[in-house]
């Protein structure tokens, strides 16, 4: 009987591997772009990384109805007496932006010692703890993996990054529209769960990751006029430092920079309601041919108006984004017959993919390193006033 049991365990393992292989083979995504990961692969690989992350990482699954989302938390070193920088990353709010969760998975690999830059990882962990939500729109992402590469919203047709209770009332009311806000703020299971996870974590640094163009943004996104006042200069300084090494792209207040109103976003809500000192949304991918033009035109704009860093630029960069399809610029509904949706939002070659995930994962670690001392100083300043 014992011999039979010993034979049964590896057989179960082989059957499980066979099931996973069949599922992977049925994915249009892996047929077209085999260097990407399916949702199941992201979840499985992330859990393996967590289990081998020197006891510093945990994973929790939350569910509402048919929707489930994994939250990963990573605790850094406790040797410092400074206030911990709680850094939250939100990936995959828009399901067609597949590169977003891929960069999050690479970040987890780096933190858990299975990728490069160990010195940077160690420096980040000295002062920061991390929260990673790798797949914020899980049901629609599965449809994207089956070849529906233009799908942006959740299965109910709601743009999850317009469903947050931050100037939500100014969002798109039209069901079926490209930015439909939903029936009420937080009407969707996905945004409810992410909101609750973030509220519990209480981030001091927050980043929502998107693709479709290049840009590093801070609040506000809800209109094209206002820039956040609280901690404005520090947020701009952090973006400027990161921009030179990792993007060389437009940066500043999202709505003000692109000249486009985006009410109901996650990063505006985190900044306003959770009072995170640093809250950002980044656009991390544009087609290479578009990027060179974007970069040169951006440089021309900066020469004309050197006051962008002070938030005083009189012109927007709206025209610079013409033809781009992203969360914060050029909002037009894509026609699947006329546009290559996959290539608009995601690297389509393995070399480009590898460069992207490594570059941005490294930038996320740098973000934690750059914001940590400011978080500690702001904490001390607040404590001194009590």
Contact 175, 155 (CB under 8 A): no
The catalytically annotated residue of 71, 93, 145, 283 is: 283
Query: How far is Cα 43 from Cα 52, in angstroms, rounded to an integer?
Result: 14
What value does the CA radius of gyration of the chain take, rounded to a whole number of Å? Answer: 21
Question: Do the Cβ atoms of 70 and 59 come closer than 8 Å?
Answer: yes
Count the alpha carbons within 13 Å of 252 in the hemisphere toward its beta carbon. Answer: 23
Q: Is the dihedral of CA 287, 288, 294, 295 positive or negative?
A: positive
CB count within 10 Å of CB 340 equals 13
> Partners of 31 in the beta sheet?
none
How many whole angstroms separate alpha carbon 119 and alpha carbon 171? Answer: 43
- How distant, in Å, are the alpha carbons of 11, 140, 216, 261 from that of 243? 51, 31, 7, 23
283 is catalytic: yes
Catalytic residues: 283
């Amino acid at each position: 009987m014992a011999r039979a049991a010993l034979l049964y365990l590896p057989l179960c393992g082989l059957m499980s591997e066979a099931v996973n292989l069949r599922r992977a083979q049925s994915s249009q995504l892996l047929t077209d772009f085999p260097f990407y990961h399916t949702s199941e692969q992201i979840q499985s690989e992330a859990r393996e990384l967590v289990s081998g992350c020197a006891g510093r990482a945990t994973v929790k699954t939350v569910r509402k109805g048919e929707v489930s989302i994994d939250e990963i938390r990573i605790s850094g070193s406790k040797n410092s007496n400074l206030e911990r920088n709680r850094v939250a990353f939100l990936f995959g709010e828009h399901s067609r932006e597949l590169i977003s969760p891929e960069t999050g998975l690479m970040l987890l690999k780096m933190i858990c010692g299975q990728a490069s830059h160990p010195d940077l990882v160690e420096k980040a962990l000295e002062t920061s703890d991390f929260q990673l939500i790798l797949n914020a729109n899980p049901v629609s992402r599965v449809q994207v993996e089956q070849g529906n590469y233009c799908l942006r919203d959740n299965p109910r047709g709601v743009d999850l990054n317009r469903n947050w209770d931050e100037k939500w009332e100014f969002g798109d009311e039209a069901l079926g529209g490209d930015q439909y806000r939903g029936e009420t703020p937080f009407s969707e299971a996905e945004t409810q769960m992410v909101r609750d996870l973030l509220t519990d974590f209480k981030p001091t640094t927050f980043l929502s990751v998107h693709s479709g163009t290049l840009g590093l943004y801070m609040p506000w996104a809800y209109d094209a006029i206002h820039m956040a006042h609280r901690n404005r200069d520090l947020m701009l300084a952090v973006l400027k430092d990161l921009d030179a090494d990792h993007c060389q792209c437009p940066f500043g207040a999202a709505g003000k920079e692109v000249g486009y109103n985006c009410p109901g976003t996650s990063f505006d809500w985190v900044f306003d309601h959770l009072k995170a000192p640093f809250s950002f949304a980044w656009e991390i991918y544009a087609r290479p041919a578009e990027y060179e033009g974007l970069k040169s035109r951006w440089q021309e704009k900066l020469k004309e108006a050197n006051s962008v860093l002070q938030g005083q630029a009189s012109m927007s960069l709206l025209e610079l984004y013409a033809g781009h399809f992203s969360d914060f610029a050029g909002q037009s509904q894509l026609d699947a017959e006329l546009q290559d949706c996959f290539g608009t939002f995601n690297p389509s070659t393995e070399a480009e993919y590898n460069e992207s995930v490594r570059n941005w994962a490294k930038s996320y670690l740098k973000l934690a390193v750059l914001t940590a001392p400011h978080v500690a100083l702001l904490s001390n300043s607040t404590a001194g006033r009590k």
